[in-house]
Structure 1
C-alpha cells in the first residue's frame, strides 16, 4: 500500500485523489459473507418500464431484494473497514441469454461505491445497512434519507412448503455510461456482463418465509416494486472470492 506522501498514478478518477486504489479491485475476498435475500413477484408493467430503452428484454415478474454483510472482508485487499452491499435486482434477457440487472444498489462506504460505479456501471449509492440475528429471526435493513427503504425479516421457524422459483441469478448485465465532459450527452456506453458466482464457497443455506417492506425516496423508487406475492427468503453464509479470472467484467457490446 502506498504511503500518504507518495504520488499516485492509477487509472481511477481522479488520478491524484482516487476513492479506491488497486488493492480494492480483483482479487479480493470475504470469509463468512452473509446474505439475506427475498424473492417476490412484482408488477410486470413496472419491470418493463425500467427496461426502456433496450437492449434488455423482459423475462419474468420475479425480482429480489437483498442485504449482504461484507464486514469481514479481508483487510489485506484494501477493504480495511468492510462494508454492506444491498439492492433490488430484476431478471433480464440480453441477446438470448438470461441473467439479472442490478437496478438499485447501496453501499455504506464510499470506496465500495466508487469501485462498482467507475469500473462496472453498478448503480451504487450511499445508504446505511445492517443485519442481525435475534429471537430466531434474521433481519436486514437499508436506511437512506430517514427511511428504511429495504426491510427484510426472515423467520427461521417457518419453513416453506415448496422450493423458491428463482430466476437466473447470473450473469449480471449492466450498462456502463460515461457522460460527456463538455456538455449534455453520453461519451461512451457499454454493455457489461459479470459473473463471479463459481468462486463462492457456500457454508450454509436455508430457505424460509420472509417479510418484505420497501419504501421509495426521490431517484430511488423501490416503492414501485411492492410485492404482489412473496415466494420466500434465503439466508446464505459462505466465502466470497472475486478472482482475477472471474471477478472482472466482460465487455459484451459498445453502443457509443
Structure 2
C-alpha cells in the first residue's frame, strides 16, 4: 500500500468524520481571574472603530485563564473595553494573548479575534493569587490579590463580543475584500466563583499599550471555573476608510499595512 500523503486531500468520509467529532466536543472548563475597572471614557471612545460606539459606563475587562484542554493545556488572556453596536451592549477585545499557536488559528481566521502568542500565568498558593499577561518580555498586565471567600453561582449567561474580520491587501494597501463586523455570542456556565481582594497593575508596553486604559475605579475581581460555548455571525460590512486607522491594534508593527484608505475606495 502506498504511503499516505498527509498534505493530500481528505476524502468526503474523513471530512464528515472531522465535522461530527467537532460537534461532540466535551465541556472544556477553564480556571480564570476576571478583573473589571472603570477607566477614562475618552480613552475607551478612542479605541473603538466605527460602527462601535462608547458605552454609558467606561469599563475594561481583563481575564487571565488556564484552560483544561486534554493533553494540551492552554493559557488564555484578554483585555477588552465595553462597547455598543446598534443598541446592543458587549465587549471589544484589544488583545488576546494565547500560549499556543493552535489557539490562534480558529479565533483569528474564523472570528477575527485579536489573538497573539504570549505568556499567560495564573498561580494560586493558598489564598494568595497572582496572574499576569506578558509579551516581548513585558508583563503588561498583572493581578495580585487574596481569595477572600466564595460567591453565589450565577445562572447560565450570555456575553457578546465584537470582532472585525479582515485580510490585509496582498499589495500592501487596504484590504482584500470588505472587512466585516462579527457578533460573537458566548454562553457561559460557572461551577465555582470566589471573590478576590487585590489590585490590577498596568505596565507600559509599546506592543500592548493597555496602560492607556488606567484603573480609575476598581469594579471587582473574581476567580472562577467556567465552561463556555460560542457562535458568531457577520452583522455588517465595514468601510475600509473607517477601519484602516485602527489596523495597528492587530499587529505589533504598525507599518505592516497602510494607515490610510486605498485610492478609489468607496463606502
227, 230, 234: which one pairs with 1:251?
A: 234
Q: Tell whether the 8 Å contact from 2:44 to 2:58 is kept in structure 1 after alignment.
A: yes
* Unpaired stretches in structure 2, ≥5 consecutive residues: 11-17, 240-267
DSSP 3-state at the match of 1:186: coil
Cα distance change of structure 1 residues 195 and 208 upon mapping to structure 2, 3 Å threshold: same
Matches of 2:41 and 2:4, distance apart in 1: 51
Cα distance change of structure 1 residues 186 and 207 upon mapping to structure 2, 3 Å threshold: same
232, 242, 248: which one pairs with 2:220?
A: 232
Q: How does 1:65-84 map to 2 (within 5 A)?
A: 65-70=62-67, 72-73=68-69, 75=70, 80-84=71-75
Counterpart of 1:45 in structure 2 is: 42
Counterpart of 1:145 in structure 2 is: 136
Matches of 1:169 and 1:215, distance apart in 2: 31
Q: Taking structure 1 as the reference length, what is the TM-score of the superposition?
A: 0.78
- Give 1 or 2: higher helix fraction: 2
Matches of 2:59 and 2:31, distance apart in 1: 22
DSSP 3-state at the match of 2:106: helix
Matches of 1:230 and 1:157, distance apart in 2: 16
Q: Tell whether the 8 Å contact from 2:93 to 2:163 is kept in structure 1 after alignment.
A: yes
Matched, 1:119 2:110: yes
Q: Report which of the two structures shows the higher radius of gyration computed on alpha carbons.
A: 2
Indicate the structure whose relative CO is greater, using CA pairs within 8 Å and at least 6 residues apart. 1
Matches of 1:140 and 1:24, distance apart in 2: 34
Alpha-carbon shift at residue 209 of structure 1 (Å): 2.0
Cα distance change of structure 1 residues 157 and 58 upon mapping to structure 2, 3 Å threshold: same
Q: How does 1:194-213 map to 2 (within 5 A)?
A: 194-197=184-187, 200-213=188-201
Q: How does 1:22-37 map to 2 (within 5 A)?
A: 28-29=25-26, 31-37=28-34
Counterpart of 1:175 in structure 2 is: 164
Q: Taking structure 2 as the reference length, what is the TM-score of the superposition?
A: 0.75
Alpha-carbon shift at residue 58 of structure 1 (Å): 0.3
Q: Tell whether the 8 Å contact from 2:150 to 2:193 is kept in structure 1 after alignment.
A: no
Counterpart of 1:54 in structure 2 is: 50
Cα distance change of structure 1 residues 35 and 181 upon mapping to structure 2, 3 Å threshold: same
Cα distance change of structure 1 residues 8 and 251 upon mapping to structure 2, 3 Å threshold: farther
Q: Tell whether the 8 Å contact from 2:149 to 2:194 is kept in structure 1 after alignment.
A: no
Task: Give the paired residue count.
Answer: 224
Q: Tell whether the 8 Å contact from 1:191 to 1:252 is kept in structure 2 after alignment.
A: yes
Matches of 2:45 and 2:146, distance apart in 1: 32
Counterpart of 1:193 in structure 2 is: 183
Cα distance change of structure 1 residues 110 and 43 upon mapping to structure 2, 3 Å threshold: same
- Computed over aligned residues only, the root mean square deviation of the Cα atoms, in angstroms, reads 2.8
